[in-house]
Structure 1
Amino acid sequence: MCSNVKRPGSILLSISVICLILNFYWPTRAQNVEPPSQKGKTATSIENKSNTESPSDLSAKRIPAEPKKIDQVGEKVGHQIDDFSQKASSRIGAWINSKAFYGITWLKLVLSFLLLFAVLSIERIVRHIIDRRSRIIEEKKELKPIRYLILQSLAKPLSFFIWVYGIYLVLTPLFLHFRKPDGTNLVHTVAQQAADLGAAVALVWFIFKLVSIVDFELKKWAASTDSAIDDVLAPLAGRTLRVFIVIIGAILIIQNLTGVKLGALLASLGIGGIAVALAAKDSIANFFGTLTILFDKPFQLGDRILIDKYDGVVEDVGFRSTRIRTLTGHLVTIPNEKAVSSGVENIAKRPHIRWLTNITITYDTPADKVEKAVSIIKEILDNHEGMHPDFPPRVYFNGFNDWSLNIMVIVWYHPANYWDMQEWLQRTCLGILRRFNDEGIGFAFPSRTLYLANDDDRQLKLKMLQGETVTYIPEGGRSE
């Protein structure tokens, strides 16, 4: 409740300060009106002066516009401040008319600070209104995103614009003290050029942020289509428009400040000259790589790809590079020229996932047990989940390893859903393990058996392998 009471009070205080300062800073409209008798003289003098001045002088005086009128207004403001200072000195003290520096009195400094506070108040009020309206739209979830985007685009550039011209207006009465005897005022000229530059930057900034509306509409259109290429073209169009706005804005600002016409110069260079001047060899190669990605479509947004040693999901395709999110969560940026020139393995486009494994059993497993092991695996994989009729499972006893008998298993899982296949693999492997345990079939693991030359067990094994009959006599016993 207290905050609601203080807010109108601060607004009224700011408005009162603004009105008070404007009363002493700027003359009334009546004072700016020239007598009819002088209008003709003024027009004649201006016309004569324009005839004598050279084109270079005119271009140099484009900014600031009509400096003499600004100086005349400043002189009238100075006279009003002097009149006010005489009245104020009788009440406050003579110190208020004393000069601080460059002939500027303390009264002008105090009024400048008060006006600066008024500018700050205006900027805060405007920003508060915009932010409050934006929050209302966001909280109510109104279906008016364009209005919300316009407010968001306007907030910061408008604040910057108010600050630029507000500070310029605050300092205007002080510029009179920097005028040289010949009538030139470098400080005033530079300040007005800076204000004009700030206003132009604010305008370009606002238009630049308005591109978010174009982005919103393009993304909404891309989402309504089935073509994946539209999802790539939508952000690229927004970026292209932003670059175009920045370039055109910079050209117009430079042309306005310097008076040099850059349009004819850029047009004379030609499209090829601009491309060579603004882009290096790698940039051009990356741009054509972008066109290749867009039209040849080796991959699209959301595809899992493998480029060189990077395995991840495509998150963004820009003019210069492609960004992929690796399986470890890292964001990798790859130039588009490299993406199209090197081999790209599009994992997302695979029709199935192949599972190749080798099941090893011990060497002492009899042949019938080996056949049983193969039949168990075939039985479990028969008509398995994800089996395609054209890709039945393949199970073969295909070799003798150093330490095991090898059974090769190849399975193709459709569709290529990695996590669904992992669930199926877990059930399948558990089924094979249980059936092998029930049949007494042992799994082999890497091992090595060493026989010593004088080992009795070694001689016994050799005789058994040669087919001789061996009678085993236990120690302390007799044969039967």
Structure 2
Amino acid sequence: MTISPIRLRHVLPVLLFLVAFLLAPARLQAQAADTANASAPAAADLYGRGTPRGLATGLINALSAQDYDRASQYLDLSRIARSRRAAAGPEAARRLQAALDAGGSLMQPVQLSNDATGRIDDQLPIDEERVGTLPGKDKAAEVPLIATQSTNDDGQTIWLLSAASIASLPAANVEAAGSRLRSLFPSAMRDTDIGGAPLADWIILIGGAVLFYLAIRLIVALLMSGLGRVKRREDGGLLWRLLCAAPTPFSLWVSMLLFLATTRTLEVAFVARQLTGRFAGALAFVGFCWFLWRMIGIGADLVAARMEHSQRFRARSIIIFVRRALKLLLLMFATVQALNILGVDVTTGIAALGIGGIAIALGAQKTVENVVGSISVVADEPVRVGDFCKVGDVSGTVEDIGIRSTRIRTNDRTRITIPNSVFSSQQIENFAWRDRFLFAPTLKLAYGIDADTVERVLVSIREALAEAEYLLEGARASLKGFGESSIDIEIFSYVDRSDFNEYVRLQEGLLLELMRRVEAAGARFAVPARFVRVEGGADAAGTQGASAPA
């Protein structure tokens, strides 16, 4: 069995994961400087403890910076005498980090409430919130880590890790974190600290995430290979298209979920575990949205093909527009949620957009007009993709009807883009909707023939029109009048065809037949001519004037 070369789309998630983690420690240090503004809407509190999410974010940042004095500000030390808090607080923070390193866990900030009241549906008292667990001898002996509402010296309501949880720290199963795994690495990696965690722990977690992805990707590839050998539908059936769209995003999604479930209580540095869990959660969400993105495209293509097969072209155009709108909404939603999972405060950005909404709306008037115009074009459907039409002075084939503009390919093979606001307000002539073609030439017979010859020509032409099966009933030929240089016979009829190429072929044959019948009747076609009379003095022959054709 030959192994195909690794494609870029297979290794791209791995590269994204590695880049994210290489930049993670620097980002973690930057977050520690502005904890209050990063997560908590209650900015009045210096440490951002106004919500459970603010408590968790601030505590994680303080522990990652190994700033135990600041970390103690997130602990309820009310059971400790004030005279001892300055020394006991940092020591409690160290014991808390040791317990978390030994297998404890703290919920990701995005999992916690960002309201000052916390969650009210967690079956806990209104002033309590579960934010994690402390390790025990086994899973049943784990100690819940509880946050409670309290009041600071300024009278502000804040959230702190409860005094009961702090008191349970000495009883927790605190051992040397990650001693078994770290022992596999050189002492230099165990002693080198990056972002508040040993380098060995970062390698364990990052390597585990990469191995999880590669393993799931290999399993999916083997399954796909087996299914392809059993039965592969070359016509692009729904099941096969879904399978082809799923491997990469599905592998990313499932592998990151497995990584999160496996490493939640792994005995490595809590800071490294927390940060890798944050990025793994973001990548899992990206994988899920990536999969949805592909499903939207596949579903829209299948529905559009069915609509086209049943000649419901209007619905097909609407599906194209809806597909793009759904993908745009999915992209916006995925971006906001991924940033939220990574700990970036998107609430402030959304609020800023709300404040500047008027200015944005004024600056985007044309864009809004084009979106409204595109809705009008899709709803009214004056044209479809593939139609030949004339819009103003532009004639060509419609290639695409987008959210902002419509693109037309002209006969000169140039492409013209027309904003939908302009397109929807123009007079549009759609040649593709034509159900028949008008055949109405005027035959010009030369003077010099008598009335009987003209009558024979008319009779012969009427017979030719009657014999043409592709002409609709009512085809007629009549003497129109006498022109400057011809006797005009007018023909009026419709060719019962909608295809332009077929119409051109039939028109050519009919014109040749009419030409033969005119010649057989003893007439000929007129050649446009004009006679000019020149008047002047008498010439040598005594001629007063002469006329000659011009």
Under a length normalisation based on structure 2, what TM-score does the superposition of the two structures give? 0.53
Offset of 1:326 from its aligned partner? 4.5
SS of match in other structure, 2:382: coil
Q: 1:277 to 1:200 in 2, by over 3 A?
A: farther
Find 1:435's aligned residue among 513, 517, 524: 517
CA contact (8 A) 2:150 2:159 kept: no
Q: 1:412 and 2:499 equivalent?
A: no
Deviations along 1:253-307, one digit per CA (max 9) or x if unpaired, are 222223636399569959x959965992223222322333344343445543221
Find 2:283's aligned residue among 181, 192, 198: 198
Q: Distance in 2 between matches of 1:74 and 1:109?
A: 12
SS of match in other structure, 1:341: coil
1:278-293 → structure 2 map (5 Å cutoff): 280-293=364-377
1:115-264 → structure 2 map (5 Å cutoff): 122=215, 125-129=218-222, 131-132=224-225, 135-136=228-229, 139-140=232-233, 145=238, 147-160=239-252, 193-212=278-297, 214-215=299-300, 218-219=303-304, 222=307, 227-258=312-343, 260=345, 262=347
CA contact (8 A) 1:298 1:346 kept: yes
Offset of 1:201 from its aligned partner? 1.8
Q: Distance in 1 between matches of 2:241 and 2:304?
A: 14
Q: Distance in 2 between matches of 1:204 and 1:279?
A: 31
1:292-303 → structure 2 map (5 Å cutoff): 292-300=376-384, 303=387
Under a length normalisation based on structure 1, what TM-score does the superposition of the two structures give? 0.59
Deviations along 1:326-376, one digit per CA (max 9) or x if unpaired, are 556665543322222010112233453223434344455566555554554
Find 2:419's aligned residue among 335, 342, 357: 335
Deviations along 1:71-108, one digit per CA (max 9) or x if unpaired, are 96555422x225xx6xxxxxxxxxxx888996999999
Larger Rg: 1
Offset of 1:428 from its aligned partner? 2.2
Q: 1:142 to 1:322 in 2, by over 3 A?
A: closer
1:65-80 → structure 2 map (5 Å cutoff): 73-74=177-178, 76-78=180-182, 80=183
Amino acid in the other structure paired with 1:339? F
Q: Distance in 2 between matches of 1:348 and 1:269?
A: 45
Runs (5+) with no aligned partner, structure 1: 5-30, 59-68, 86-96, 169-175, 464-480
Deviations along 1:138-162, one digit per CA (max 9) or x if unpaired, are 62469961x3343233222245558
Q: 1:424 to 1:462 in 2, by over 3 A?
A: same
CA contact (8 A) 1:301 1:316 kept: yes
Name the residue aligned to 1:359. Answer: 443
Q: Distance in 1 between matches of 2:358 and 2:309?
A: 37
Q: 1:130 to 1:72 in 2, by over 3 A?
A: farther
For this pair of structures, how many residues does the alignment match? 396
Offset of 1:424 from its aligned partner? 2.9
Find 1:81's aligned residue among 184, 200, 210: 184
Q: Distance in 1 between matches of 2:333 and 2:364?
A: 21
Q: 1:261 to 1:106 in 2, by over 3 A?
A: closer
CA contact (8 A) 1:130 1:151 kept: no
CA contact (8 A) 2:278 2:341 kept: no
Identical amino acids, percent of aligned pairs:
19
CA contact (8 A) 2:442 2:489 kept: yes
Amino acid in the other structure paired with 1:421? Y
Offset of 1:213 from its aligned partner? 5.2
Q: 1:449 to 1:289 in 2, by over 3 A?
A: same
Runs (5+) with no aligned partner, structure 2: 4-101, 105-134, 162-172, 261-267
